[in-house]
Structure 1
Amino acid sequence: MPSVQLLFGPMLIGVFFNMILYGILLVQMYTYYQLYKKDAPWIRFLVWYLFIIETANTAFDMFIMYEPLIIRYGSPDGTKFFPTLFASEPLVIVAVSTPIQLFFAWRIMKLTKSIWIPIAIALFGVVSLGGGIWTGVKITIVKLFARKPELHNPALVWFLSSCVADVLITGSLVYSLSKRRTGFVATDDAISRLIRMTVQTGMLTALFAVGDVVFFMTLPHTALNFLWDLALSKLYTNCLMSTLNARASLNEKAHSSSHGQRISTMNPRRQIETYESGHANPLGSPMYELDAQKSFSPASSYPPGDVEYGITVTKVVERMEDPRPSLHTQ
């Protein structure tokens, strides 16, 4: 039997991380409902669902620590048995991670117009859901800390499948976004920021999942894996909310910079006719505009305010008229 420090110390620190991330999550959700009142109802429902689940998870985790440290303080049962609500942890994590993974699978399908990678992501997400449920049920059967190694098989199915889904999501989004550069410096900069955020958030959840399974498998008689485990659900939800909320700042940056963009005739992309009100350009020279590499017409598959793409592109064409009077007016 491990010492109390190795048993409850990592769990207590994991609960601290969980509660800190819950506070950050509340701010992100408040920001979302203030800024995105016109999002699809099912997306807003998903956010509400995650709020309810995460609130319950925070309460469960607090009681998971309260029971052995307060209720069972000084009793041998405190270090012998799993806390009563311990089985809720894997159930809550997969109840959060699987819908988020399915959401990103849907977004990737919309962005790439392909179903194969989204199907793979959805498959691994569902396998992860099954592994999490299996782990929760197994905990209620095992009950004893000494029998913790018996949870290895279901936990391995749960964490590895979730990790593969997270890596697929990150790689697919980075590849898809990198192909959508427009030729506008401001917009490309916004896309680069979105790619960096995708890598940072997606790989963070994958890193915590890997850390959880590695500590779980290599240190079976300690609770060090709960340094990662107890904060995992909050990481998934915060990553989703940061992606949703990033649209406002990215759109603002792209709009403010694109309206100040000046068009250079030294590097023209596309020549256009310059007839206005039936009169030719008095200088007789062609006008040029920067032609985006991708189409962003209303019929495009990347509409303004897109949940994942999040960038609206505006073309700006400046026309210069000859300040000298026209020859036919002299």
Structure 2
Amino acid sequence: MASNALPPIPPDIARTAGPLLIGYLINWGLFGVLSTQVYFYYLAFPQDMRRTKVLVYGIYLFEMAQTIMLTQTGFATFATGFGDLNAINHIGVIWFAVPIMDSLVAFVVQAFYAYRIAVLSRSMFMPAVILLFGFLQLGGGLATGYFGAKAIHFNDFLGKKTFISTALWNGGGAMCDIIIASSMTYFLSKSKTDWKPTKNIIQRLIRLIIETGTLTAAMAIVNLALSVLPGGPTYFQTTSSMLGKMYSNTMMVVLNSRARIGNVEAISTGTLSSEYMTQRTPVFRNMAFREDEENGPGPP
């Protein structure tokens, strides 16, 4: 009987188990936010282009798969493996569900913005730069996942090679997000129109893109900083579990910002792509997000 006894739980177990648990909980919370945003998109933009719908629903299913995988891992760690230090230290499918899936979602969102910038700028230079850093962060994420699969346990994961791959993953992502926010702000601010509803949409998009780009870039930088802390704690698992859903949620915020609740005619302009335009959405006629034309746009 004594040989089957589990080793005593160390007093600093929270340094390993705590970030994992918090990361799983926040991941579920962000998935709930994403579900609400996707449902709003489904109601508001039934006439969007098919490729945009494929992008939205494809990312949503991908994020759902990640949440299911992390839930299974959390159950194995804190339920069936309760009290077992090996279960807490075991990477399991996290090597795939976090760095690989997060970097794939980030790349898709970054490519989406690169396409929008190509439409706005009528040039391929900035989109090419964005895709370059996007591929850099994707390669870093794939490499981080590979090293995680080889390590098997968290205490064998952190090392020189992992630091390099994590730096490429998060550093490339942060740089890409900064370039996207700067480029979108510049090209949208060059859009000239005298019609106030269109100007309001442009101002709203600029504000949202700056906010969302800053948020995802800051999250990537924090994730990188936490992954190089001395002593090998798993604090980075909290931010890593959030990263992919931060990208998908920020993309949905920008897409849904086109909605003007009420029976509003479509706006036509030669500068903005039609996918950024407000559409007729009578289904929202009685909802409480009506925009005040005199005071500018309400909250996105």
Superposed, 1:13-162 pairs within 5 Å as: 13-150=22-159, 151-162=162-173
- CA shift, 1:187, in A, is 3.6
Q: 1:235: which partner in 2?
A: 246
- CA shift, 1:171, in A, is 0.6
Aligned 8 A contact 2:134 2:172 in 1: yes
Aligned equivalents of 1:155 and 1:250: distance in 2? 42
Amino acid at match of 2:237: F
Indicate the RMSD between aligned Cα atoms, in angstroms.
2.4
Residues 311 and 74 of structure 1: is their aligned pair in 2 closer, same or farther, counting only changes over 3 Å?
A: closer
Residue by residue, what CA displacement relative to the aligned partner does 1:160-204 show, whole Å, maximum 9, x if unpaired? 111111111111111111111423444433322221111111111
Aligned 8 A contact 2:191 2:271 in 1: no
Alignment counterpart, residue 229 of structure 2, candidates 204, 212, 218: 218
Aligned equivalents of 1:130 and 1:250: distance in 2? 41
Residues 3 and 86 of structure 1: is their aligned pair in 2 closer, same or farther, counting only changes over 3 Å?
A: farther
Aligned equivalents of 2:55 and 2:129: distance in 1? 22
Q: 2:289: which partner in 1?
A: none
1:203 aligns with 2:173: no
Aligned equivalents of 2:36 and 2:177: distance in 1? 24
Residue by residue, what CA displacement relative to the aligned partner does 1:61-120 show, whole Å, maximum 9, x if unpaired? 112222222222222312443234443211110121111111110100000111111001
1:302 aligns with 2:289: no
Aligned equivalents of 2:142 and 2:214: distance in 1? 24
Q: Which has the larger radius of gyration?
A: 1
Q: 2:292: which partner in 1?
A: none
Residues 84 and 246 of structure 1: is their aligned pair in 2 closer, same or farther, counting only changes over 3 Å?
A: closer
- CA shift, 1:13, in A, is 1.2
Aligned equivalents of 1:138 and 1:252: distance in 2? 53
Q: 2:188: which partner in 1?
A: 177
- 148-157 vs 82-91, greater mean Cα deviation: 82-91
TM-score using structure 1 length: 0.75
Aligned 8 A contact 2:219 2:243 in 1: yes
Aligned equivalents of 1:101 and 1:81: distance in 2? 31
Aligned 8 A contact 1:167 1:203 in 2: yes
TM-score using structure 2 length: 0.82
Aligned equivalents of 1:31 and 1:180: distance in 2? 27
Aligned equivalents of 1:57 and 1:71: distance in 2? 20
Aligned 8 A contact 1:149 1:220 in 2: no
Aligned equivalents of 1:130 and 1:86: distance in 2? 14
Aligned 8 A contact 1:190 1:250 in 2: no
Identity of aligned residues (%): 27
Count of matched residue pairs: 268
Aligned 8 A contact 1:148 1:220 in 2: no
Structure with the larger RCO, 1 or 2 (CA within 8 Å, 6+ apart): 2
Q: 1:264: which partner in 2?
A: none
Unaligned runs of 5+ in 1: 259-295, 313-330
Aligned 8 A contact 1:72 1:78 in 2: yes
Aligned 8 A contact 1:28 1:242 in 2: yes
Aligned equivalents of 1:251 and 1:174: distance in 2? 27
Unaligned runs of 5+ in 2: 1-9, 280-300
Aligned 8 A contact 2:69 2:93 in 1: no
Amino acid at match of 1:237: S
Structure with the higher helix share, 1 or 2: 2
Superposed, 1:261-280 pairs within 5 Å as: none
Aligned equivalents of 1:28 and 1:153: distance in 2? 35
- CA shift, 1:245, in A, is 1.1
Aligned 8 A contact 2:170 2:220 in 1: yes
